[in-house]
Structure 1
Amino acid sequence: MASSRYKDKDAGVVLSFNGQWVSWSHTVAASLAFLSALIIGCALHYHKIVQNEWYGYPQEWFPSVSATIGDRYPERSIFMLFIAVTSGPRFALVGLWYLLTTKPGRTLPKAIAISGVLRTLTCGGWTYITSTDDHDWHDILMISYIILTIPWMTGCIALSPPNAKAIKYRKYLCGAFFGTLVPLVYFFIQHKVHRVAGAYTIYAFFEWSLIVLDVAFDAVTALDFDAFEVTIRDVKGASKGANESSVPAVVLEKEKENATGGVYSTGFRFGSAVDIAADVYHGYVFWSILTSLGVVVWYFPLWHMGISGYEAFIMTTVSPFFLAIEPVRSFVVKNQQVTHLLSLAGLVAYLVEDPVYRLFTVGFGLSMACISWVATLHSDSVQPARLEARILSLTIGLLMSSVAKFAWYTNNPIWPIMHAENGGWNATGLFLAVLAVMRFTRRAPLHGSVVAEKKSGSAFLASLSIGGLFFALHSLLSDTSTMILWVWDGYPIRGPVSNVHGWYTIAAMTAGLTIGVLRPALVTSWTAFGVGSIGAALLTLYHQWTGYYGALALTVYLMAISVPLIGNAAKKSPAVTFGFGFLIYNFMVLFHVWVVAYAFVPGGPLVREHTDWVMIATMILIGAGVFDLVSQQAAAQKVDAPRTVNTSHRKYHFGVLGALNFLFLVANFIRFPTNDYKPYHEKDRLFTAGIWTIHFSLDNDMWSSEYRMRDLIKELEVDVIGLLESDLQRIIMGNRDTTQFLAEDLGMYVDYGPGPNKHTWGAALLSKFPILNSTHHLLPSPAGELAPAIHATLDVYGTLVDVFVFHSGQEEDPEDRRLQTEYLSKLMGSSPRPSVLLSYLVTSPLEGNYNSYVSDVSGMRDVDKSDWDRWCEYILYKGLRRTGYARVSRGTITDTELQVAKFVVPSDAKETASLFAASEQERDRRVQEQAIPEGWRFPAKFRGDGVRGHRYHVFDEPRYYNF
């Protein structure tokens, strides 16, 4: 207890003590809570608290926080006792901080105080509701606590009194806290998903580090609270901003502003926040329309099996060329609200049933979107702050698009291929888009028509950079799973996976934008360009984590450089920089399609399989813009003084970035893999295998078909299925991944197959059984398109079973198909295990290459050699007991039926040997359905007319076999 130093003012004071004792009591009580639990837990229950769901001592030798505080008596009780004691000082600490920092008319202290109270309550939530009590609520409350720590720590830095030591400690501790989250998540995934021995121990060290850093950050308040004496009275006047420091207050305020990126530098205005939210949403709408065009265009060459003519609609993006015509330019600039509203035709298109007219509607909407956004950027280019705000809204709109696509399993909920039946939110999205446009355009343009164009630099170089930049952003960053699938190479998992590590891409995008805004001189240097180029090279040439680290470096660079590059282009002739820029973008789109579609387009063989050329061209185009910027900077240093830019909008944009990251993490938490992956007929040791060519997940009416595919696969009780024409990770297919939705919804493991940089149309495998190992193959294809194959080994009821998924070359290339047949036959023959081939073979039964696939070389047998009606899809097998085979009509989902077969897995080596040795006559003995167990039968609902257009056809019913 300390008496006041102001004795003449202490009359009537019964108790007084210095405010720093609130900090110290909180620090001591919190430390004792965790430390006592750790010491007692290790002393009494060491082996039990280091045990996790996969491993125990000695693989795991240090307990996690959750296991220490929640699993055993008496450490749990002692911990909760000290945490209860901690709650009083904790609330007092939040209250004193508010009293210290509040000032008339300032709302930030109130917001930080509210976040502090909520943070304290969630702390009580995850400490009193342990993972043993309720794992889900423990995780929800812990994640909420971490999220609330973001405004608490950054707000404390921004509001910190002018105390150099306290500011320094808070910056270091805050940075260490959030930096620790990255390895924390990494090692948790290594433990939870990859089941790496010892990973949980390392995770535990980082988890305990977070506790230490968290308590230490709040302990720093002791350096400020000595200004208080709890009567309570401000004895130093610190709440008015006065304090002793050898550093000038203005310097400290600047340091605080730098530490928080200027987010809290000015007051909060609700109207401004609404403006920025509307601007970002309108940017999201632009990217939604742009990314939808390729999908609706792609529908037509699919059904025409070649060039359809509708591909010309990709040129709708070059509408900014019309801004070269003065009357058009004047009209668009003066009537931006009208043109931006017309661009929403791209969202209205979902109401148009006819695919042709839907394409026309999207094309018109995109042409208006491009010309409207370019006119807005150009007219606002005379005001640096307003231009920067528009650019941030556009680029954050891309990030919002990626977040929405993750939440909707790589589909955008407002695309014209979506509607209510397949998860679309089109009406809601359109309503919000109209409101956003009205808010986005409510301010008059800064200039009526003609804006003085920047004479320095080159408009041509700027246009090249716009083409390269928009192509890179669209092709690589419009979906968080794209670059992850570039580096995917099968099981066992040795790299990132889409539904677990997608946030790393979002975090890199966020970091890149922040750097681009706060350090533009850094990102416009050749050094930064070199780092981005190295990242591009790593992504292109390497797999697994090495390739993905390169992808993250490239992501940071692309988002950072987008701010100065778009700003530079907006100040020059818009018809040149954006009109010609989008023409270059269109050329790059065709380029990256032709590297895989070379068999169907004029001159295609010249660029066959050259994704590396696409990446090099992209970086050269961006480099042209960097050269232009560097040249201008050199000239500006000689004649121009730097201009001060109003940055008040940044706090709102950064706030939106934080909110989008939060929403992504919520979606990530919901999508975190928790399936039990149970097969449908475990008691019968039976599995159902299927093969389906899904036609890029677009149905006959141009709707995304994942939901309908899911329903048919589930109702047919398919345990293992091969999907062909499944690689959707290109601009023309929307950068989608159907396998994510199917695997997570159906509870299946998934191998995406050869990635989008392997130049195939895709082959994927989904399985209810663990995939122990998988290898991707690109079969010989000297003339035609590449043929992808997956060779996977599954653990089926304890028996190793090999599954091959294969898409053969086209009918036009017989030599390719012969070479592929030899390759795959030898590959299948090399496996001594029971095996199944799920394939697209392009051959007639009993003829030609069929006799190589079904041969002594491969050891494979046809699931039903009497089925004369096949041409493409085949199921072959060996070493398994085949019990049934059926062909199910596609309805309007795709152009190819779903073929399924049922197999019983041998229970021991003796039975396996007998199955390999069985004669053809024994294998092909057919029986009536009543002669087999009920669990072996196909679902009856698909008999007759079936359901939703799906029925057993060709045979009108399934076939069953008694062997």
Structure 2
Amino acid sequence: MPQIPAAYIARAHTVLGSVSFLTALFLGLLFHYKKLCKNAVATYPEEFFPSVSATIGDWYPERNIFQLLIAFTSGPRLGLVAFEYLLHSTNSSSPFPLVTLTSGLLRTITCGGWVYITSSDDGEVHDFFMISYLVLTIPWMWGCTTFNFFLSLIPLVYFYLQHKLHRVPGAYTRYSFFEWGLIALDLMFDSFTEEELRLRKFQFSFGDPSATIQSTEAAKQQTAPTEKAEPEIQIDPSKNPVAKAKAPANPPISAVPESRFSLRLVLPPSLKPFISFVSSIYLSYIFWSIFTSLIPTLFYFSIWELGIAGHELALLSTLSPIFLSFNPVLSWAKSRGGSTTLHIFSLLALGAFILDKPIHRLWLVFLGTCAVMCKQVATWATSDIDQQSIITALGFLLSSLSKHANHTNNPVWPLVNSESGGYNKIGIVLAALAIYEHHIRQPTISETAKDVTQNTNPPQAQVDTTQGHWLAGAVPLGSLIFILHNLLSDSSTLIAWNWTGYQDYQPRGPVPHLHGSLTFAAQLFGLLLALTSVTHDLTDILAHPLWFTYGSAATIVLYAYRDWSGYFGGLNLAVFITSIIPIVLKQASAASGSTWQSTGKVYFTAMLVYCLLALSSTWTVAYAFVVLVAQMACLSLAFRWPGLKLSCSAESKNTLSSNFVSYSRGAIACFAFFSFAASVYRISSRFPQCFKPGPRILTAGIWTIHFGLDNQGRDSQRLVRNVVRDMELDRVVFGERDLTRVIVEEMGYYVDIGPGPASHTWGCVLLSKFPIINSTHHLLPSPGGELAPAIEAVLDVWGTPVTVVVAHNGQEEDPLDRELQSTELARIMAASYPQPVLFLGYVVSKPHAPRPAPYEILVQDGRVFDIDKDDLDRWCEYILYRGMYRTSYARISRGKVTDTELQIGQFVLPPYGTTVVDDSEGARYLRSQKEDMPEHHWFTMDYYEDHPNNKAKGGHAYHVFGTPLYYQIPPDPSKVLCYQRATPEEQR
């Protein structure tokens, strides 16, 4: 029967692949050298060598010849994938060959994607397939001596960023060298298979209906009598596709050449447990960081659509534990190599920060979340669940602590970078070190124990896994993860939940930057209770219904009460939630038992519960208590109710070592210290002072900033701070996310946020350089469901009480909601007549629009004036006023911070104890030139488009008018006083 050595297939792949790329390069240099070197930044001679993408995809005939030759390579490539699978699966029950087969097939498909969809066809699709190809190369090359390939990725990424971000001429040529180097290394790696196939004497037989693939020892006919040759592997089309023979009892060492090597870290034996403990906490921190980064990353697209954009489907990445329903995948994920590989894949999410386009970052976060969820679930589904539950809790607290210390931003989130408070590179380096330590550490008990999941007919679990039982393990876990994420992942959430503002110059409740550490103290106390219950076998106490009653009572207090009383309920809820983390995780582990079917079912259902609760918390309108009741009802299944067999009967035996307990208590103490230290460090040393302390000037601005993300989907707190500082705003309002931490701590402002999450609305923010005397939070009428928040505050402006109303109304979807909301806002403003009033609101209405549109209702019924009635180019942001002299008005383009502009109005208060004498239209519209006004009324010159300093302002500039508008104060006795410095009595 004719036979062809399988090594020839590997050689054909190497030759065809090399000829394809070399031919394209030769023809490209011959026909289109300078055109191939040209890119968006520079051309020849700065760029003097073409990239792979340009060579194979931009010009005829090299593109067409390359695609023809590379098509012939597909057959040998698929053959290599099959041979690699057969080589490694012959005498192995490991799931790794199946993973290699899957990654090899997907790698071939993605190769076709970036080959046949070139950068000139669709750059984003080409880049997606190229990135996917490189990612799939990791499991394909795993364990082999191919580190040159991965090391080449570092300069490749560096020079690509130099070209793409910094637009450095010549950087793309250097990038091209490494890109061609990766192609060469890739082909060389696949060529190694030729030598392996030759040593194993793999042969491809044809000409017989029952074609076979044979694997024998070298020179089978000459084998010594005492030696046993490897049996053949037959392919029988009438039966199984691959019939594996039993492996020899003592296979020769030379049968499978060893190409693996590992580096061992030499440490004193006493330090190894501590290093492993720290490494595990950091990897848990990475899990929570990636997990919590998913929603803000995908929410960017909902901002621009102001609704469902479709990208919300990325939330389904949290359902990736469904893949663990397959026994080979679960076994691989539990293995040391599998968990290490999943950790490496998860780094894609951390590395997404280098990408500019939000959609590219979302893709990588999606893939990273899939990987990290599978890894974490495989970790939870182990025999040492007591230890893993404490590690999970400590990692979560470290994630929350890092946000508290970093202006509510996790420093390794992909939506931050070095310009917005990110420490991404440091985080990735530490993650790589932790992964390395995880890979080389001694095997755990669960890894050395017999893996019963490898049996084709697994035995029944030790616990009764009826439907109620496995649900009792899954549903509470989903609720627990949701509560941790929704209420405790940020220290300011419980504070903002019931915050109601100021009274008599003092805040009625706790403030985030000062009292956030109390939230940590409560969580740490709860975790200490959990640790004590595990070490003393007292978990039955925390699983008792009375403890659930305590948690339910704390939830009721959180919802029903406000300010300090409500926050006290939140602190008790924090104690309760963190104390039951080991119970819930242990019950889920017991429910999954030892069967791979149960593992996938339990943890998939848990994450499905999480997704449903997360969506409910977003879509439920005005009924926050519905979500609270649902989450507590789900959590109740984790407790042992008398007469009801709901919870899984997992043994309550302490498996924690004394070292681990000691380290955990030390970590809790360190977290407590650093949380209080962060609070003290972040207390603003700047007492709020006005930018212009002399004249009785009030400069106010409205800026609707959607969720604190700029146009590139990155955190925008510092960009907002820069503009506010440049424009010297005494007041600013922006909607929908707490963006106050940077501004409050670095610039010194009084802050009011509300209404809080208890009212289930997006809320708004008031920042003031002037003391806030009193404030009231309003949830405006919304029978149609378009919830709208408002803050009514009385400020002490140069000794004169000024009522300031900030609001964020609904959109156009419900006209009745908009009419009722406008009517209520007009009532609030009219109630303080004739005292000074300033309205800064997001109102969707055309200027001068008649009733029932908001404009006429607000102006007429509220007894206020438009800042400039002749500005007809507005749509959503409006500044209205009464009882003050308006002296200037400016509109600043959105730049890269947000999708809405900044509107600014400057006002002068009448002398203390007096009012505006003439507020007729003629008096209010005495327009003026900037040069005719005192200099302290001028806005900064840097924001004129033609000013030399404008390029450094992030794309912001005076637009619509091209300049601020200035207005004279009408001639009356107060005019002279208004331009003079205020007396000490007037400044009180």
TM-score normalised by the chain length of structure 2: 0.65
Displacement of 1:557 in angstroms is 0.8
Displacement of 1:461 in angstroms is 0.9
Letter in 1 for 2:527: L
Tell me, yes or no, if structure 1 residue 488 matches structure 2 residue 499: yes
Q: Distance in 1 between matches of 2:904 and 2:379?
A: 55
Tell me the alpha carbon deviations over residues 810-851 of structure 1, each in whole angstroms, 9 at most, x when there is no partner: 112111111112111111011132111001111111122355
Tell me the alpha carbon deviations over residues 559-606 of structure 1, each in whole angstroms, 9 at most, x when there is no partner: 0111111022123232122111011111111011112xxxxxxxxxxx
Q: Distance in 2 between matches of 1:546 and 1:617?
A: 23
The residue aligned with 1:906 is: 910
Q: Distance in 2 between matches of 1:282 and 1:940?
A: 49
Tell me, yes or no, if structure 1 residue 683 matches structure 2 residue 694: yes
Tell me, yes or no, if structure 1 residue 952 matches structure 2 residue 953: no
Tell me the alpha carbon deviations over residues 390-418 of structure 1, each in whole angstroms, 9 at most, x when there is no partner: 21111111111111001111111100100
The residue aligned with 1:610 is: 623
8 Å CA contact retained: 1:413, 1:425: yes
| Residue 860 of structure 1, aligned match among 851, 857, 864 | 864
Q: Distance in 1 between matches of 2:340 and 2:642?
A: 32
The residue aligned with 1:593 is: 618
Q: Distance in 2 between matches of 1:630 and 1:268?
A: 50
Q: Distance in 1 between matches of 2:682 and 2:710?
A: 26
SS of the residue corresponding to residue 344 of structure 1 reads: helix
| Residue 835 of structure 1, aligned match among 834, 837, 855 | 837
Letter in 1 for 2:328: P
- Specify the structure having the higher radius of gyration (Cα): 2
8 Å CA contact retained: 1:374, 1:570: no
The residue aligned with 1:523 is: 542
8 Å CA contact retained: 2:887, 2:908: yes
SS of the residue corresponding to residue 862 of structure 2 reads: coil
Tell me, yes or no, if structure 1 residue 337 matches structure 2 residue 362: no
Letter in 1 for 2:396: L
Q: Distance in 2 between matches of 1:309 and 1:522?
A: 45
Q: How is 1:289-328 mapped onto 2 (pairs within 5 angstroms)?
A: 289-328=290-329
8 Å CA contact retained: 2:412, 2:422: yes
8 Å CA contact retained: 2:640, 2:647: no
Q: Distance in 1 between matches of 2:640 and 2:686?
A: 51
Displacement of 1:443 in angstroms is 3.4
Q: How is 1:171-210 mapped onto 2 (pairs within 5 angstroms)?
A: none
Q: How many residues align?
A: 665
8 Å CA contact retained: 1:488, 1:755: yes
**Structure 1, 421-430 or 839-848: larger mean CA deviation:** 839-848
Letter in 2 for 1:505: T
Q: How is 1:360-439 mapped onto 2 (pairs within 5 angstroms)?
A: 360-379=363-382, 381=383, 386-439=384-437
Tell me, yes or no, if structure 1 residue 570 matches structure 2 residue 570: no
8 Å CA contact retained: 1:415, 1:426: yes
- Unaligned stretches of 5+ residues in structure 2: 1-267, 454-458, 534-538, 593-597, 970-988
% identical aligned pairs? 38
Tell me the alpha carbon deviations over residues 31-73 of structure 1, each in whole angstroms, 9 at most, x when there is no partner: xxxxxxxxxxxxxxxxxxxxxxxxxxxxxxxxxxxxxxxxxxx
SS of the residue corresponding to residue 891 of structure 2 reads: strand
Displacement of 1:952 in angstroms is 0.4
8 Å CA contact retained: 2:385, 2:585: no
Q: Distance in 1 between matches of 2:682 and 2:939?
A: 31
The residue aligned with 1:869 is: 873
Letter in 1 for 2:342: T
Displacement of 1:909 in angstroms is 2.4
Displacement of 1:675 in angstroms is 2.2
Q: Distance in 1 between matches of 2:491 and 2:643?
A: 31
C-alpha change, 1:926 and 1:707, in structure 2 (3 Å) is: same
**Structure 1, 898-907 or 333-342: larger mean CA deviation:** 333-342
Q: Distance in 1 between matches of 2:642 and 2:412?
A: 36
Tell me the alpha carbon deviations over residues 249-271 of structure 1, each in whole angstroms, 9 at most, x when there is no partner: xxxxxxxxxxxxxxxxxx99322
Tell me the alpha carbon deviations over residues 298-334 of structure 1, each in whole angstroms, 9 at most, x when there is no partner: 1112112222211111011111111111111122122
The residue aligned with 2:682 is: 671
Tell me the alpha carbon deviations over residues 477-496 of structure 1, each in whole angstroms, 9 at most, x when there is no partner: 10110011001011122221
8 Å CA contact retained: 1:524, 1:630: no
SS of the residue corresponding to residue 521 of structure 1 reads: helix
C-alpha change, 1:349 and 1:449, in structure 2 (3 Å) is: farther
Tell me, yes or no, if structure 1 residue 961 matches structure 2 residue 967: yes
8 Å CA contact retained: 1:852, 1:858: no
C-alpha change, 1:643 and 1:307, in structure 2 (3 Å) is: closer
8 Å CA contact retained: 2:778, 2:791: yes
SS of the residue corresponding to residue 697 of structure 1 reads: coil
C-alpha change, 1:364 and 1:629, in structure 2 (3 Å) is: farther
Letter in 2 for 1:863: I
Q: How is 1:433-832 mapped onto 2 (pairs within 5 angstroms)?
A: 433-441=431-439, 442-444=441-443, 445-447=447-449, 449-450=451-452, 453-456=461-464, 458-492=469-503, 493-519=507-533, 520-571=539-590, 572=592, 573-595=598-620, 608-627=621-640, 646-724=657-735, 726-727=736-737, 737-832=738-833
The residue aligned with 1:70 is: none
8 Å CA contact retained: 2:514, 2:683: yes
8 Å CA contact retained: 1:790, 1:805: yes
- Unaligned stretches of 5+ residues in structure 1: 1-266, 596-607, 728-736
| Residue 848 of structure 2, aligned match among 822, 837, 846 | 846
Displacement of 1:782 in angstroms is 1.1
Q: Distance in 1 between matches of 2:855 and 2:607?
A: 51
C-alpha change, 1:396 and 1:290, in structure 2 (3 Å) is: same
8 Å CA contact retained: 2:387, 2:656: no
Displacement of 1:546 in angstroms is 1.4
Tell me the alpha carbon deviations over residues 849-871 of structure 1, each in whole angstroms, 9 at most, x when there is no partner: 35534545312101111111001
C-alpha change, 1:629 and 1:907, in structure 2 (3 Å) is: farther
Q: Distance in 2 between matches of 1:883 and 1:620?
A: 58
Letter in 1 for 2:896: T
Q: How is 1:106-117 mapped onto 2 (pairs within 5 angstroms)?
A: none
Q: Distance in 1 between matches of 2:571 and 2:839?
A: 37
8 Å CA contact retained: 1:456, 1:632: no
8 Å CA contact retained: 2:749, 2:767: yes
TM-score normalised by the chain length of structure 1: 0.67
RMSD: 2.1
The residue aligned with 2:360 is: 357
Q: Distance in 1 between matches of 2:709 and 2:639?
A: 39
C-alpha change, 1:450 and 1:415, in structure 2 (3 Å) is: farther
Q: Distance in 2 between matches of 1:544 and 1:314?
A: 33
Q: Distance in 1 between matches of 2:643 and 2:299?
A: 39
SS of the residue corresponding to residue 960 of structure 1 reads: strand
Displacement of 1:276 in angstroms is 1.0
The residue aligned with 2:244 is: none
SS of the residue corresponding to residue 649 of structure 1 reads: helix
Displacement of 1:759 in angstroms is 2.1
C-alpha change, 1:562 and 1:534, in structure 2 (3 Å) is: same
Displacement of 1:792 in angstroms is 0.4
8 Å CA contact retained: 2:751, 2:765: yes
C-alpha change, 1:708 and 1:641, in structure 2 (3 Å) is: closer
SS of the residue corresponding to residue 949 of structure 1 reads: coil
Q: Distance in 2 between matches of 1:424 and 1:308?
A: 27
Displacement of 1:285 in angstroms is 0.7
Q: Distance in 2 between matches of 1:635 and 1:712?
A: 57
Letter in 1 for 2:516: G
